[in-house]
Amino acid sequence: MQTSCQELDPVHAETRRLKFTPSSIVGAYLIEPERLEDERGFFARTFCQREFGEHGLIVRMAQSSISYNAKKYTLRGMHYQAAPQGETRLVRCTRGAIMDVLVDLRKESPTYREWLAVELTAENHRMVYIPEGIAHGFQTLVGETEVFYQISEFFDPASMRGVRWNDPALGIKWPRTPSVISERDANFPLLVKD
């Protein structure tokens, strides 16, 4: 017998569902929790295995990580993990604000080499679901920013890859020139023509 997340959690059954909005990148979603508000504040679900499964999304999460960024305009990215260790990520900003960027690197995808930017903040509680084969990065919009990741695969240093944040072939429009960027991220290779 199948049950919903609401049936499994009768105390918070009023929290209906997560809102899944397909993005302009095939397979990537913006996800917003429905909030149950009262005089204390609110309660909201940020993950439900059944709801993710209903949308055909990966439901296995092997790791969770946080990224703390002290300075405004810190840039991290553009990262991905190569097959067969490709990873799906669910990303949200738990403190501060970021411009979160996705680049589709799946050659068979109709959105190949397209990019998407979305603002994630501690206040808007939005999340981005990033399927395997998409490079991910972000730039902080304020100092003291923290980003929370749920990741489908274990980290594999040998599979770690990246593309240059300012690759002219992509033309990503970042808010500012990075105030802080790692040497590795600044020197990822440029994409070659297909």
The set of catalytic residues is 79, 149
Q: Which residues, at least 6 apart from 28, have a Cβ–Cβ distance to it below 8 Å?
A: 22, 102, 116, 128, 129, 130, 131, 134
> Which pair of structure tokens corresponds to residue 75?
């840039």
Rounded alpha-carbon distances, angstroms, from residue 55 to 11, 74, 150: 25, 33, 17
Q: Which residues, at least 6 apart from 141, have a Cβ–Cβ distance to it below 8 Å?
A: 72, 73, 96, 97, 98, 99, 119, 121, 175
What residue type is assigned to position 45 of the chain?
A: R
| Sheet strands (E) in the chain | 18-22, 29-33, 35-38, 41-44, 63-69, 75-81, 89-95, 97-104, 115-121, 127-130, 134-140, 145-151, 160-162
